[in-house]
Structure 1
């Protein structure tokens, strides 16, 4: 009796890519819905429908809507500035003041540019105003690592350790305007502070230059106080 060799099931070409595409589509659809409605009012079914997938896909790829929201929140922060790009800037050659100017320019142009119409700022703005349990993950994965890089740059400018309270206060003053823009974005630009409307000709460049000038002027004043011993 001749025994036939068992055939190994052939993997369908593109299966992995299709899975990755579906997962990415769910993330994008979720980002849009979370930005529109917030985490509490969004449903996995609605997200799956907008992504063109079945309702089980959210659980399959993300373990549920909570896991999906965490991934969306982390991705939103990365779209403002990735950790790798920040490290490359900090560890590259050049004066720390110029590095800080570049960093401020990167963040300011992202927030006042096309990102103002994306879901990333909407998701982050909602999270800042009403933190969810996922905020702890965002702090650990994105905020603290990036904050360490930024405070090291500020510390180099002032000649202090990155964890010195003076450095921390200076970093807060530098970062706070961006947090304000993320929370308010369109409302601030068009209603409360129309002078910040980046849609006006030349406005984005003016905003970037102002943020850079203000931050460096504050650091220069702080450095002068440190040299005089009046702090």
Structure 2
């Protein structure tokens, strides 16, 4: 296998916007493979077909670059706009939540598993960096609010009610586990989660939807009994 410093991303052009994008793409690959602590600006620049000064010029250094890579990784998994489109679209809250779960499940079990985005996010979840708070403010919290608002509508509670928060945790946690889990090890321990075939992926998506909706129905029933 060739040394990483000798690889260069294809399609290099000499305009600033493309150079900036090339650096981001190269950084995603390097951070996914090595983590933030072991990556260097020189290695990333060489992979991008640029020079170390470009990392500082476009991103203010490797710290700023890593923060932008984190944001891009989360957007590649699921964009805020796609969540809002579902939330503001037709259908009742249960249908909307099923759609949101489907979007997330297909992103985590589909082609995104072979991209650097999940590798970067998985490392960040296991060992948060100072840039995590940027990710939290810019991507995680806004998206969480969309999900908890829909869950709250299903339960008839405010989005920040503790019961809604607990339900959101149960809904999101399986996907966080899939992001963190090493694909080879994870599918060996739990072979039924290997979405090698489209039909298998469909079954996984439907299971996550069914499990989440059943849990919400049980929670709603318990809340009615308590009140």
TM-score for the superposition, normalised by structure 1: 0.90
Distance 2:151 2:54 in 1: 44
Distance 1:221 1:190 in 2: 30
Match of 1:174 in 2: 171
Aligned residues of 1:188 and 1:194 also touching (Cα < 8 A): no
Q: What are the residue-to-residue correspondences of 1:12-31 with 2, within 5 Å?
A: 18-31=15-28
Distance 2:198 2:151 in 1: 32
Shift of 1:94: 1.0
Shift of 1:190: 2.8
Distance 1:136 1:129 in 2: 14
Match of 1:118 in 2: 115
Mapped pair 1:217 → 2:214: yes
Aligned residues of 1:77 and 1:124 also touching (Cα < 8 A): yes
Alpha carbons of structure 1 residues 20 and 61: separation in structure 2 relative to 1, 3 Å: same
Aligned residues of 1:58 and 1:68 also touching (Cα < 8 A): yes
Aligned residues of 1:116 and 1:185 also touching (Cα < 8 A): no
Deviations 1:80-136 (A, max 9, x none): 111111112111221110101100110110111110000000000000000000001
Shift of 1:200: 3.8
Mapped pair 1:129 → 2:135: no
Match of 1:161 in 2: 158
- Unaligned residue ranges in structure 1 (runs of 5+): 1-15
Shift of 1:201: 5.3
Match of 2:5 in 1: none
Q: What are the residue-to-residue correspondences of 1:75-94 with 2, within 5 Å?
A: 75-94=72-91
Q: Secondary structure at the match of 1:76?
A: helix
TM-score for the superposition, normalised by structure 2: 0.92
Deviations 1:117-157 (A, max 9, x none): 00000000000000000001100111111111110000000
Q: What are the residue-to-residue correspondences of 1:1-231 with 2, within 5 Å?
A: 18-200=15-197, 202-229=199-226
Shift of 1:187: 3.3
The structure with more radius of gyration: 1
Aligned residues of 1:115 and 1:121 also touching (Cα < 8 A): yes
Shift of 1:225: 1.3
State the 4+ residue runs in structure 1 displaced beyond 4 angstroms: none
Shift of 1:189: 4.0
The two structures, once aligned, show a CA RMSD in angstroms of 1.4
- Unaligned residue ranges in structure 2 (runs of 5+): 1-12
